Amino acid sequence: MLNYIWLFFIIIALVVGVGKDINDEVRNTYRNGTPLEVILISSQVPSGTATRCEGQFYLTAKQFNDFYGMSSQLEDVKQPAVLSLLQNKTGNFIFACTEETPVLWKDMAKSASGKDKLTGKIEKIEFSDDHGWAKATIVMESIRFVKLKAITQAAIDFANIAVEIAIGLIGVMSLWLGLIKVAEEAGLVKVLTRLLAPITKRIFPDVPPDHPAIGAIIMNTAANMLGLSNAATPFGLKAMEELNKLNPKIGTATNAMVTFLAINTGGLILIPATAMAVRAAVGSTNIGIIIGTSIFAAGCATIIGIIASKILQRLPKYKREMVDDTKKSEEMNHG
Partner 1 sequence: MADLFRTVINFISILAIPLMIAIFLGWGFFKKVRVYEVFVEGAKDGFHTAIRIIPYLVAMLFAIGIFRASGAMDVLISIIAPLTNLIGMPPDALPMALMRPLSGSGSLGIMTELMKVHGPDSFIGVLASTLYGSSETTFYILAVYFGSVNIKNTRHAVPVGLLADLAGMLAAVFICRILFGV
For the segment 197-256, give every residue that binds partner 1 (CB under 8 A).
224, 226-228, 230-231, 233-234, 236-237, 240-241, 243-244, 247, 250-253
We find the least distance from the C-beta atom of residue 332 to partner 1, in angstroms, to be 20
Q: Pick from 28, 71, 293, 329: which binds partner 1 (CB under 8 A)?
A: 293
> Closer to partner 1 at the Cβ: 126 or 157?
157
User: 73, 217, 302, 332: which one contacts partner 1 (CB under 8 A)?
Assistant: 302
**Interface with partner 1: number of residues (CB under 8 A):** 115
CB of 10 to partner 1, least distance (A): 5
Q: Min. distance of Cβ 245 from partner 1 in angstroms?
A: 9
Single out the segment in contact with partner 1 by CB under 8 A; choices: 40-48, 128-136, 202-210, 308-316.
308-316
Residue 284 interacting with partner 1 (CB under 8 A): yes
Least CB distance from residue 116 to partner 1, whole Å? 16
Q: How far is CA 45 from the centre of its chain?
A: 47
Q: Which is nearer to partner 1, 32 or 244 (CB)?
A: 244
CA separation for the pair 236, 223 (Å, rounded): 10
Minimum distance, C-beta of residue 51 to partner 1, in the bound complex (Å): 40
Name which of 216, 207, 222, 209 is nearest 189 in CA terms.
216
Q: Which stretch in 26-34, 62-70, 96-104, 281-289 sits in contact with partner 1 by CB under 8 A?
A: 281-289
SS3 state of residue 92? strand
Find the length of the chain.
Answer: 335
> Residue 108 or residue 180: which is nearer to partner 1 going by CB?
180
Residues 9-28 interacting with partner 1 (rule: CB under 8 A): 9-10, 12-14, 16-17, 20
Contact between 42 and partner 1 per CB under 8 A: no
Sign of CA dihedral 175, 177, 182, 188: positive
Binding residues for partner 1 restricted to 142-181, rule: CB under 8 A = 147, 150-151, 153-155, 157-159, 161-163, 165-167, 169-181
Tell which one of 42, 79, 200, 264 touches partner 1 (CB under 8 A): 264
Are 29 and 68 in contact by the 8 Å Cβ rule? The answer is yes
Residue 41 or 177 with smaller CB distance to partner 1 = 177
Cα separation, 254 vs 235, in Å, equals 18
Are the CB atoms for 252 and 322 separated by under 8 Å? Answer: yes
User: Exposure of 63 by Cβ count < 10 A (0-12 exposed, 13-18 middle, 19+ buried)?
Assistant: middle
Nearer Cβ to partner 1 (311/332): 311
Give the whole-angstrom CA distance, residue 323 versus residue 335: 18
DSSP string, 56-85: EEEE-HHHHHHHHT-S---S-EEEEEEEEE
CB of 191 to partner 1, least distance (A): 9
Q: Are 79 and 108 in contact (CB under 8 A)?
A: no
Phi and psi at 86, nearest 5°, equal -105, 115
Cβ pair 264, 275 in contact under 8 A: no
